Amino acid sequence: MNPFTAAAQTEAPPTESASTRIQARQPDRAQLERRFESVGTLIEKSTAANQIESSGEAAAIEKRNSAKELYGKAKAAFEAGDLANASALLSSASKTMFDAARLAAPESVTSKKVETDYKNKLESVRALLSAQKRIATEKSNVKESQESSKQIESLIAEAERKAAAGQFPSARTTLEQAYLLAKASVSSMRSGDTLVRSLNFATKEEEYHYEIDRNETHKMLVKVLLEDKLGDAPMSPRVTEFLTSAGALRGEAEAAASRKDFEAGIKLLEQSTSELVKAIRSAGIYIPG
C-alpha cells in the first residue's frame, strides 16, 4: 500500500470551527415561540410602544415600523422552518425597537411632555372644582362642601408652587390628589340625588357601573391621600376596620352583580363607599359623603 494513501486514510478529520458549530446548532422551537411572544408585546403593547406613539417623533415611529417589519419577516422564517434565520431576525427586531424607544425619549421631549401633562391635569382639576362648587349651591350641606373645596384649592396652590419651581412631576402628583378629591366630592354630593339618577341611568346595570367607578375613586383616594398623610406610620385600628368592611362589601356587591342582581349590588357598593369615606375622614381628610 502506498504510504501516502495509508496516511490519508488514517488522518483524523479536520477540527470543526466554533462558528461552524454555532451555525449548525438550531434554536429551540419552544424557546423561540416564547421570544416571539415577548418581542411582540414589546413592539405592540409595552410602555416603550406607548411612549413612541405619544411622543410624535417621526424617527422613533419609523424605527418602530422597521421593528414591525423585521418581526413579520421573523414570523415568516419561523413558519417556513428556518429557525436560525427567525432567531436572528427576532433579535434585530428587538434591538430596533429599543433604538426607537431611545429616540422617543430625549430629555427635551420628556420634559415638555411632563409639563404638558401637568397643564392638562390642572385644567381638568379646575373644571371639576367649578362643578363641585356649582353642585354645592344646590345642596343643603354647603358648609361640608366648602371644606372640601378649600382642600382642593390648597392642593392646587401647592401644585402651582411646585410647577413654578420647575418640579413638574411632583406638581403632577399633587394635582392627581386634588383631582381625585374633587371627583369623589362631586360623586358623593350627587349619590343621593334621585333626579340625577333617573336622568342619567337607563338601567340598573348602568347605575351599578357608575357606583363601581365611584367606589374605585374613593379607593384611589385612600391610596394617594391617606397613605401620603400617614407615611410609614401604621394605620389606626379604626381606619383598618373601615377599609376591611369596605372591601368585604365590595366583594358582596360584585357577587350580587355576577347573579345579575344589580339593585343589591348598587346598595352594597354605596355602603362600601360610605366605609371608605369614614376611613378618609378619620385620618383628618375631609370629604362629603
- Which pLDDT value is given to residue 194? 41
Radius of gyration of the chain (CA): 30
Instruction: Give yes or no: residues 86 and 159 share one domain.
Output: no
- Which pLDDT value is given to residue 183? 81
Instruction: Give yes or no: residues 186 and 246 share one domain.
Output: no
Q: What are the pLDDT digits (tens) for 189-228?
A: 665 544 344 446 778 898 898 888 888 888 887 877 666 6
Q: Can you say how many angstroms the Cα of residue 39 is from the centroid of all Cα atoms in its chain?
A: 20
Instruction: Give yes or no: residues 199 and 277 share one domain.
Output: yes
> What is the arithmetic mean of pLDDT over 101-107?
73
| pLDDT bucket at 144, cuts 50 / 70 / 90 | low
Total of domains in the chain = 3
Q: What is the rounded average pLDDT for all residues in the chain?
A: 78
Instruction: Give yes or no: residues 276 and 253 share one domain.
Output: yes
Determine the Cα–Cα distance for residues 139 and 145; give it in Å rounded to an integer.
9
Which structural domain, as residue segments, surrounds residue 269? 192-289
Q: 96 in a domain, yes or no?
A: yes
> What is the arithmetic mean of pLDDT over 43-57?
84
pLDDT higher than 60, residue 31: yes
Instruction: Give yes or no: residues 220 and 247 share one domain.
Output: yes
Instruction: Give yes or no: residues 127 and 80 share one domain.
Output: no
Residue 207's contacts (CB-CB under 8 Å, 6 or more residues apart) are 197, 201, 262, 266
Residue 259, class by beta-carbon neighbours within 10 Å (0-12 exposed, 13-18 middle, 19+ buried)?
A: exposed
The CA-based diameter of the chain, rounded to the nearest angstrom, is 118
At 287, list the grid cell: 370629604
SS3 56: coil
Tally: H helices and E strands in the chain: 14, 0
- Which pLDDT value is given to residue 15? 45
pLDDT higher than 70, residue 117: yes
- Which pLDDT value is given to residue 17? 46
Determine the Cα–Cα distance for residues 67 and 209; give it in Å rounded to an integer.
40
CA dihedral 271, 134, 287, 195 (to 10 degrees): -10
pLDDT higher than 90, residue 72: yes
Q: 3 in a domain, yes or no?
A: no
Determine the Cα–Cα distance for residues 148 and 281; give it in Å rounded to an integer.
11
Instruction: Give yes or no: residues 180 and 99 share one domain.
Output: no
Determine the Cα–Cα distance for residues 285 and 178; give it in Å rounded to an integer.
12
The candidate with the shortest Cα–Cα distance to 183, out of 230, 142, 146, 148, is 148
Q: 285 in a domain, yes or no?
A: yes
Instruction: Give yes or no: residues 76 and 119 share one domain.
Output: no
Instruction: Give yes or no: residues 146 and 167 share one domain.
Output: yes
| pLDDT bucket at 139, cuts 50 / 70 / 90 | low
- Which pLDDT value is given to residue 226? 64
Helices (H), 80-106: 83-104
Instruction: Give yes or no: residues 141 and 184 share one domain.
Output: yes
Q: 6 in a domain, yes or no?
A: no
Q: 84 in a domain, yes or no?
A: yes
Residue 213's contacts (CB-CB under 8 Å, 6 or more residues apart) are 187
pLDDT higher than 80, residue 35: yes
